[in-house]
Structure 1
Amino acid sequence: MSKWKGFFVFEGIDGSGKTTVSKRIAERLKEKNQSVVWHREPTDGNYGKKIRSFLSGQATLSPKEQLELFVLDRIESVNSVILPHLEKGSLIIQDRYYYSTAAYQGGKDLSAEEILSLNENKGFPKPTQVFFLDLTPEEAKERRKYRGGTEEAFDEDKEQNRIYANYMKILPENTVFLDATQSIKSLLDAIQEIIEGEIRS
């Protein structure tokens, strides 16, 4: 069980809508006078910028280098943002966490399960609740095409299928799976009800 009551993580493959949904739910909670911090990983710090350069195709990283950067970025993220705000009693609404690292980087060298264990053994705080925006890789591909922008490192069909399969192996048992094809209002209403229930409990 998580030590923290206010740490909510949003996961999903590219195009699932988790960034939009997590930002909107943070706004809703702020409107109810909650102290809320929206946060994302990779961060905008030095390590996070290197990861984003790789994701956008501007830099090349080996699987080992990718994993090292994600862990270094997360150490900084936990120590400078997540723990200080949780300790103050703020809610953290987070776009991606170590489940993403396990799902995306899990492969021939290290399995998704091994990467998950590596992160959990670092003592990173466990989320109160994980929300998974569930969308098939095919549906996500259509969304990404509609959205436009530059193709990223993991956009190929076989990569998205691998990532989705990895997620199914490593997400915690109490993960809330949300049908990402439903309306944004339906998603936000369902998420808000769960978060407010957790805060009150």
Structure 2
Amino acid sequence: MKKFVTFEGIDGSGKSTVSKRVYEELKRRGYSAIYTFEPTDGEIGKCAKKCIDKGVDPLVIALLFVADRIEHVRKIKEWLKEGHIVLCDRYVDSTYAYQSVQLEGQMEDPLEWLRQLSNFVIKPDRTFLFDIDPEEAISRIKGRKTRFENVEFLKKVRKKYIDIATEKRFKILDARKGIEDLVEECVRDIMENDGD
């Protein structure tokens, strides 16, 4: 069974809806699960969200996400030590995808810089990447407040996600599938024994 599971994808991919439903299903089956997300609702996470809304320099935002994650990783380690399954809606790969695209032109290799800053993170047992065409994703989030409602930007982020999804921990899901099918696929995958 996988203990630390992250859910990634561009805005409008359905990852938040599915991750919450997976959490509910695991609880229904009697598992001790914790649902968490990034940016967190701690002080640094709230500050990061405000800075995004205000259009603050992407470098500042990237550093705020890393700072927020330092606190978050401490909690995740505790939850895992206590024996919980931890489900996280967005994690370090969101920073790699979104912030590396935003930082293009500000430094030579933004992805490598972000990886260096993130060497303290716990590697997830599984990362579900919800893949969807940005045009469809945007049609899903019409009316939702987001700074990332831009097709060209989301195309770059999607490509970055696909580029980084090469490790064995990634499972790329077709986010056009129905919610129930995606929930079932995620739960089944989490329950599988990887020989641990």
- TM-score past 0.5 threshold: yes
> Is residue 67 of structure 1 aligned with residue 65 of structure 2?
no
Offset of residue 108 of structure 1 = 2.2
1:124 matches 2:118: no
Read off the aligned partner of 1:69 and give its amino acid letter: L
Letter of the aligned partner of 2:68 in structure 1?
A: D
Q: Would you say the 8 A contact 2:2–2:191 is kept in 1?
A: no
Q: CA deviation at 1:102?
A: 0.9
- Give yes or no for contact 1:134–1:179 (8 Å, CA) kept in 2: yes
> Cα offset for 1:178?
0.8
Aligned-partner Cα distance in 2 for 1:167–1:100: 8
Deviation by residue 1:112-131 (Cα, 9 ceiling, x = unmatched): 5314522442x210000000
Partner of 2:95: 101
Instruction: State whether residues 11 and 132 of structure 1, in contact with CA within 8 Å, keep that contact through their aligned partners in structure 2.
Output: yes
> CA offsets, 1:98-151, max 9 Å, x none?
100011011222445314522442x21000000011101111011112xx222x
| Counterpart in the other structure of 1:17 | 14
Deviation for aligned residue 1:61: 1.6
Larger deviation: 67-76 or 161-170?
161-170
Deviations 1:38-61 (A, max 9, x none): 000000011110111133x2x232
Structure 2 counterpart of 1:52: 49
- TM-score, normalised on structure 1? 0.88
5+ residue gaps in structure 1?
none
Structure 2 residue runs without a partner (length 5+): none
Residues 1:195 and 2:190 aligned together: yes
TM-score (norm. length: structure 2): 0.90
Aligned residues: 191
Q: How much identity, in percent, do the aligned residues show?
A: 37
